[in-house]
Amino acid sequence: MALFVLFRSTDVSAGDYPVLYPSMQDLPREVRVFVEKGTRPLTLSEADLDGDGLKDFIFVLERQKARSTDPEIEVGQRPLLILIRQQGGALLLVKRNDDIVYCSTCGGVMGDPFMDVGAGLKTFTVCHYGGSAWRWSVNYTFNYSRRDRTWQLVRVEEERFHVSEPEKVEKDVFTPPKHYGKIDIADFHPGRWKGAGYGGLKPLSPER
């Protein structure tokens, strides 16, 4: 239980955690139209993501192999969609990222590393946990910018420990503008965020 708590500390208590691995029947009817051909629903989180008082959704899909013998899908396997409710009540797909949610085989010995998407008022956090003897977790948090009318990376939290010493957790926290500049959710990539988003300018301080 201690490890479960450790890797779910995402500061999004104001919102709801998602339904994991929902079936089509579990989905709200208005969300089903966003399930793309060749995918299945993976998680659905509901919260007021843009601060207009209306309930929105973060929807994660998972691409399916055409045949069981096909290679595992590692790139773009799990698209994340941000569905914003319009004043008339309809949902609109406003942002998409095909890279932020790790693939089902990207967690090492631990297996699938994807934990959840925690969503709250104008914020959401994508959480992963994996490894083998050395365990790791990484949480990516995005907040809504009213000025830019999008969600931007505001915090990356990385933790790691050895299973023989679970109480000795090493932790790094990265925030702008020291470690990166403005990074839109649509442009985010887990392997290319450090030092990114400065509009051509290098960060003032390269150290953590």
Per-residue confidence of the chain (208 residues) as pLDDT tens digits? 233 333 333 343 334 445 566 778 889 999 999 999 989 999 999 999 999 999 999 999 998 877 777 777 777 789 999 999 999 999 999 999 999 999 988 877 778 899 999 999 999 999 999 988 999 999 999 999 999 999 999 999 999 999 999 999 999 999 999 999 999 999 999 999 999 998 755 544 444 3
Residue in the block written with tokens 């003032």: 204
Residue 174 forms part of a structural domain: yes
Residue 194 forms part of a structural domain: no
Residue 151 forms part of a structural domain: yes
Q: What is the value of pTM for the model shown?
A: 0.85
Instruction: Say how many domains are in the chain.
Output: 1
Residue 94 forms part of a structural domain: yes
- 2 phi and psi angles, rounded to 5 deg: -60, -40
**Residues with Cβ < 8 Å from 44, sequence gap 6 or more?**
18, 19, 22, 27, 28, 31, 57, 58, 59, 60
Residue 199 forms part of a structural domain: no
- CA 18, distance to chain mean position in Å, is 12
Domain region containing 147: 2-187
